[in-house]
Structure 1
Amino acid sequence: MWNRKTILSNAINDWHARGLVDETTANSLLIDAAQNKSSFSFQNILILLAVICLGFAAMSFVAANWEDMARLSRVGVVFGAMWTFWGASALFQWREQTWFAQVFTLGGCAMFGAGIMLISQIYHIQGSAKDATWLWAMGTLAAAALTRSIPALGLSIALLTIWTWLEPSMFSWRTAQIQYSFPAYMIVCAALAYWMQSRFCAHLIVLATAIWAVPSAAALLDEDVALFPSLVLALGFALLSAMLFSDHAKNWLRGFERATSFYVLGTLGAVLFFWAVIPSKSAAILSSDGFTVFVVIGIVTVLVTTAFAIIARRMNHTNTYDLIVTAIMSALSFLCILISDPSPLFFMALLLAGSIWIIRMGWRIEYRPITVLGFIAFGLMMLWVYFETIGTLLGTSAFYAVAGVLLLAGVFIVPRLTRTPVKGMEK
């Protein structure tokens, strides 16, 4: 159902069924859609998979550490393969076969990483695997920028993500150090993806940022540090407002606003959940000197989201409703952090209401991933409520009953109260 030709064919058949286009025009459009061949063939996929296999082969060759082969020979094999890939990339670029050139650039970057590992292995350099991964990522990022290689840019994003996980990052048993420079690298990658017009790399960048932000916020909350998680919430709500405002209007990200909103909503939900499961710690954190900073961050966030909502309302923006709800949800989120201790009941209600709002948002803007995310969040929240109150089933029943009544009220009562009367029909 995600195939472009299928989408076009279904749309044309729907237009014809509703009488928007006549049969002759519909047939002409269907023929044109069927003849519109994609520039990306299965051969391109096979070439990409072959280069990836060769890259893994080179790394396995280094890991094998053959004693029967001289050191110079090993270096010659790896570096010879690297320059072979670079030569093939240059050849295909000269022949204006852009995709093949980009893929062989990826192969050259893979061999560059294998060369780093080989030199470290041969000369027993006691360096950090984290530093080696960073060097590999920087070389790959430079190659992607010089050759406009989308696969190489994707590899650099993956390497930078792995770099944040390697020791001595927060996942080490000895330290909770956070890589605060990671967003700067992602900004550079985002600029390159925007320049290359690569939606694939854009997805990787936003996903990698979410993977970095959520565990970092959880780790710092566990260390009784609230500043970074607060900033994640603030930036998340501000970015969500910006994406909703840009959608169908400014188009700042060339149509990537909805996908960004999807990742932002997931990040906000995860951070709020982690904050909810340690409410006693959050109260202790906010009772310290960080309370004032937290309040300032919350006020600024609410002001920014409210400003987007006011401007959208004056412009009659199609996403005005969601922008208003975003401002309300940002205020309620910061308020819940202040009043949730010792029970996460307020967070449960907030996240449950948020999941329903997400379903409605995805349904209204016709972006299915957001709708699916809302349904998943709603199911997870229902399970969370059940397991949190499993010892008091009467309380669980009351919570679900209230939620059901409110949903029914939202379906049948609220639309009647907010319906605008037709002129001439008022009594």
Structure 2
Amino acid sequence: MLRSLYRRQLEADLPRWVEAGWIAPEGAAQIRRDLGADGEGRFRLPLLLAGIGAICIALALVAFVAANWEAIPRPVKLAGIAGLLVAAHGAAALFAARGWRAVADIATLFAVLVFVAGLSLVGQMYHLPVDWKAGSLIVVVGALAAAWLCASRGAALVATIAAMIWLFWRDDTLHLATPDGLLALVLLAATAGHVLRHSSLAGRLAVLAQALATYAAFVIGEMDRMDMSRDAEVVSAVLLGLAALAGAFAVWGLLADRLLRGGTDGVAALADTGLRTAPLLLALGCVIGLFLGLDSYDFLSNRVDTRVLLLWPVTVVTLLAAAGAGLAITRGVWDGAFTAVLVASALSFALPLMVVWFPGQMVWIAVIALAGAVAISVAGSAAHRTSWSVFGNLAIAAVLLMLLEHTVGSLIGQSVFFLLAGLALIVVALVSGYILRKRPGKTEAAS
């Protein structure tokens, strides 16, 4: 259930429960505090608007300086940039001292934006050569310094975005045993560490996006090192990588949910966000794999280097997922949700193998894609996760529409497909019913 809808329903139910004597007024107040339902959401919109306003003011200052570039003396330009930085950080410190953490965060964000604009203006002032890689790295370092020193979530978000820009603005590919490879891991650790300490939804999503970008950069670098550049190998690496990463997100997210249930720390929050993100990656893998398999592109008939299965980033992430599954078993928290998640991940992992290594097997490709989409939805029911059910149902709809369009005009093809699809759905329904019957006393968790 979406958390906002859950809060709304709770606010409607609590007065009725108190009036009926089922819970005490003090208990209702404690429930509201525990779920953060005392109205903190009412302050999000003004803070969001204030943050956008700070960005607009920073852009206005940059535009004003650019419009009067020749008229403003160089010392005045430098003094203005330095003065804005000092004033913004001073205001942030003042707001923080008064306990206005959100306002202080906006002031720090404004200071970081002034710093970014100042880099560009100083570069123009002294006619420095354009170096986007170095510039984005300087932004990352400056924003990270502001984020850690001032506990600023906004500055950390800027640092995460700049780190992703740096990853793909480089001239060469990324390899682990290089300074840039180690630096990429250090930057990911720095931004992730800040999110764990000062958690926010935007920050967690940004860090997961940075992790995905770093993972993709290492996969690309490893393929370049192994001289694998054919289209079929790229397709297989992308789909296998998505399935492996989604499986790791899902398994460790479920594991954190079981072992850290009720916790509000950054680790539990980040793991929960990863768990919500995993079905999107799996659904994309099913839809993209089916699209490529049905269209039977010529490049898929090329021989694929089997070393694509040995790309170290994919192997490491797969081993992480396996380690999480093993830990769930040894800690006694394994249940039907883990089984459903692993089945969905395994089907998404098997789909690119069928698409690339056995092109033309359209019936089996269709069955695996549909089974994978259904497994995502079933995992949502087993784990009581709305995001999994939503993305699974969307994937089912997309797969069925693609298959219906592809089989129109071929009654035999429609017959075979819908027969196999019907049998697969019945089997999945029986398995999911068995799983849910084993968990009669559990209610759906908010997600």
Give the TM-score taking structure 1 as reference length: 0.77
Equivalent residue number for residue 112 of structure 1: 115
Matches of 2:259 and 2:386 in 1, distance apart?
20
- For residues 309-359 of structure 1, the C-alpha deviation after alignment (integer angstroms, 9 at most, x for no partner) is 465456553x52232244444544444444432136344322322222222
What's the CA shift for 1:85?
0.7
Equivalent residue number for residue 359 of structure 2: 342
| 8 A Cα contact 2:136 2:166, kept in partner | yes
- State the SS of the aligned residue for 1:263: helix
What's the CA shift for 1:280?
6.3
Equivalent residue number for residue 444 of structure 2: none
| 8 A Cα contact 2:133 2:166, kept in partner | yes
Alignment of 1:197 onto 2:199: yes
| Match of residue 321, structure 1, among 295, 319, 336 | 336
- For residues 221-251 of structure 1, the C-alpha deviation after alignment (integer angstroms, 9 at most, x for no partner) is 7484566764554343233222222222245
Matches of 2:138 and 2:100 in 1, distance apart?
29
| 8 A Cα contact 2:340 2:382, kept in partner | no
| Match of residue 383, structure 1, among 401, 408, 416 | 401
| 8 A Cα contact 2:337 2:382, kept in partner | no
- For residues 42-70 of structure 1, the C-alpha deviation after alignment (integer angstroms, 9 at most, x for no partner) is 55444323322212223333554633333
What's the CA shift for 1:98?
2.1
Equivalent residue number for residue 259 of structure 1: 273
- Paired residue type of 2:146: A
Matches of 1:331 and 1:46 in 2, distance apart?
43
Equivalent residue number for residue 270 of structure 1: 284
Matches of 2:118 and 2:19 in 1, distance apart?
63
Equivalent residue number for residue 187 of structure 2: 185
| 8 A Cα contact 2:286 2:351, kept in partner | no
What's the CA shift for 1:167?
6.8
Alignment of 1:245 onto 2:255: yes
What's the CA shift for 1:385?
2.4
| Match of residue 142, structure 1, among 137, 140, 145 | 145
Alignment of 1:411 onto 2:421: no
| 8 A Cα contact 2:253 2:274, kept in partner | yes
Between stretches 220-229 and 330-339, larger displacement belongs to 220-229
| Match of residue 398, structure 1, among 416, 420, 425 | 416
Alignment of 1:70 onto 2:73: yes
Equivalent residue number for residue 424 of structure 1: none
- Paired residue type of 1:343: G
Specify every segment of 5 or more residues in structure 1 that has no aligned partner in the other structure, as ranges. 171-178, 421-427
Equivalent residue number for residue 425 of structure 1: none
Matches of 1:417 and 1:111 in 2, distance apart?
55
Equivalent residue number for residue 383 of structure 2: 365
Matches of 1:39 and 1:330 in 2, distance apart?
35
Alignment of 1:131 onto 2:134: yes
Shift of the 143–307 alpha-carbon distance from structure 1 to 2, 3 Å rule, reads closer
Shift of the 227–383 alpha-carbon distance from structure 1 to 2, 3 Å rule, reads closer
| 8 A Cα contact 2:250 2:278, kept in partner | yes
- State the SS of the aligned residue for 1:197: coil
Matches of 2:255 and 2:150 in 1, distance apart?
34
| Match of residue 28, structure 1, among 25, 30, 35 | 25
- Paired residue type of 1:239: F
Matches of 2:212 and 2:146 in 1, distance apart?
25
Taking every aligned residue pair, what percent have the same amino acid on both sides?
21
Specify every segment of 5 or more residues in structure 2 that has no aligned partner in the other structure, as ranges. 174-179, 224-228, 439-447
| 8 A Cα contact 2:286 2:395, kept in partner | no
Shift of the 216–388 alpha-carbon distance from structure 1 to 2, 3 Å rule, reads farther
Aligned length: 404
- Paired residue type of 2:360: S
- Paired residue type of 2:255: F
What's the CA shift for 1:411?
3.4
Task: Give the 5 Å matches for 1:206-225.
Answer: 206-210=208-212, 222=231, 224-225=233-234
- Paired residue type of 1:378: I
Shift of the 414–86 alpha-carbon distance from structure 1 to 2, 3 Å rule, reads closer
- State the SS of the aligned residue for 2:71: coil
Q: What do you get for the CA RMSD once the two structures are aligned? A: 4.2
What's the CA shift for 1:194?
0.5
- Paired residue type of 1:206: L
Between stretches 62-71 and 347-356, larger displacement belongs to 62-71
| Match of residue 372, structure 2, among 354, 373, 385 | 354
Matches of 2:137 and 2:437 in 1, distance apart?
58
| Match of residue 83, structure 2, among 76, 80, 83 | 80
Matches of 1:310 and 1:137 in 2, distance apart?
37
- Paired residue type of 1:270: L
